[in-house]
């Protein structure tokens, strides 16, 4: 199944993507022949019951894990054909990551943390781009602060700015509000959406929270390692209804 909410070319695509852990009688299929496109310049959330394959899909799309079979194409580059060294370079230069834990270096200032990916790549962040990022995320007066001097929401905003600093093809966000209180979580989600609307970024977010998913342009639903549907222009209620339908189908299937 392919998402269809946007007409812009896909930033990242999967075709017949399968991931099997183990072998023989103990083999577990985490992803089962998944076909999906994530539109460029869009905010997409991935949701599904526990064990549905959400994190596995994100890890394969981001080149953090290898597929058993199938293809992943990011910005015209087939990830599944790259060597480990080539994948490392691609992740550093063309993919951004935002995790539940902020992963900021405590001895670095906010500005130094934001510039870290470029420093590791031996390049520098464009000053105009850095100014735009920090102003967009409300960090201009926090750049000289170290992580312990920032709130949780501010730390996550620094992490998002760091992920965007190299102008990646895609930013993958894995439960980005999981360690935040509700107010800070709302702020972070609003900034993620702004990065799409105002900066043209592409974001793919894994979440279990229907309210968080409602900030996305589209929700991709997974069940049993397969694409189970999509929700365009999601609301918390429509996401909850979609998840309830998946659970009901799962219960019905188990009862048969």
pLDDT exceeds 70 at position 8:
no
pLDDT for the residue 4: 40
pLDDT for the residue 162: 92
Whose structure tokens read 């550093």?
A: 92
pLDDT, tens digit, 9 for 90 and up, residues 199-235: 889 999 999 899 999 999 999 999 989 999 999 999 9
* 181 or 35, higher pLDDT: 35
Decide: 230 and 218 in contact? Cβ < 8 Å.
yes
pLDDT exceeds 50 at position 94:
yes
Protein fold of 40-58+82-255: Rossmann fold (3.40.50)
Per-residue pLDDT, averaged over 141-169, amounts to 91
Output the CA–CA distances (angstroms, integers) from residue 161 to 10, 136, 245, 252, in the order listed: 23, 9, 36, 44
Q: What does pLDDT average to over the chain?
A: 88
Q: What percent of the chain has pLDDT over 90?
A: 48
Q: What percent of the chain has pLDDT over 70?
A: 94
Q: pLDDT-based confidence at 243, cuts 50/70/90?
A: confident
pLDDT, tens digit, 9 for 90 and up, residues 97-143: 998 888 899 999 999 999 998 888 788 888 888 888 888 888 999 99
Burial class (CB in 10 A: 0-12, 13-18, 19+), 158: buried
User: CB count, 10 Å around CB of 137?
Assistant: 23
């Amino acid at each position: 199944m392919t998402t269809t909410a946007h007409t812009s070319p896909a930033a990242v695509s999967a075709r017949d993507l399968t991931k099997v852990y183990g072998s023989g009688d103990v083999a577990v299929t985490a992803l089962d022949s998944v076909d999906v496109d994530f539109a460029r310049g869009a905010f997409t959330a991935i949701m599904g019951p526990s064990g549905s394959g959400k994190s596995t899909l994100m890890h394969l799309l981001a080149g953090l894990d290898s597929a058993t079979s199938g293809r992943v194409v990011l910005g015209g580059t087939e990830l599944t054909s790259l060597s480990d060294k080539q994948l490392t370079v691609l992740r550093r230069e063309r993919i951004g990551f935002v995790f539940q834990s902020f992963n900021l270096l405590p001895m670095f200032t906010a500005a130094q943390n934001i510039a870290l990916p470029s420093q590791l790549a031996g390049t520098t962040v464009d000053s105009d781009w850095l100014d735009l990022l920090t102003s967009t995320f409300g960090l201009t007066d926090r750049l000289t602060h170290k992580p312990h001097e920032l709130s949780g929401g501010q730390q996550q905003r620094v992490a998002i700015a760091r992920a965007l600093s190299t102008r990646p093809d895609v930013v993958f966000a894995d439960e980005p509000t999981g360690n935040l209180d509700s107010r800070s979580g709302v702020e972070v989600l609003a900034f993620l959406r702004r990065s799409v609307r105002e900066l043209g970024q592409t974001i793919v977010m894994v979440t279990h929270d229907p309210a968080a998913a409602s900030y996305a342009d589209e929700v991709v639903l997974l069940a049993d390692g397969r694409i189970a549907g999509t929700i365009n222009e999601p609301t918390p209620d429509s996401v909850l209804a979609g998840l309830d339908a998946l659970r009901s189908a799962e219960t019905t299937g188990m009862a048969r």
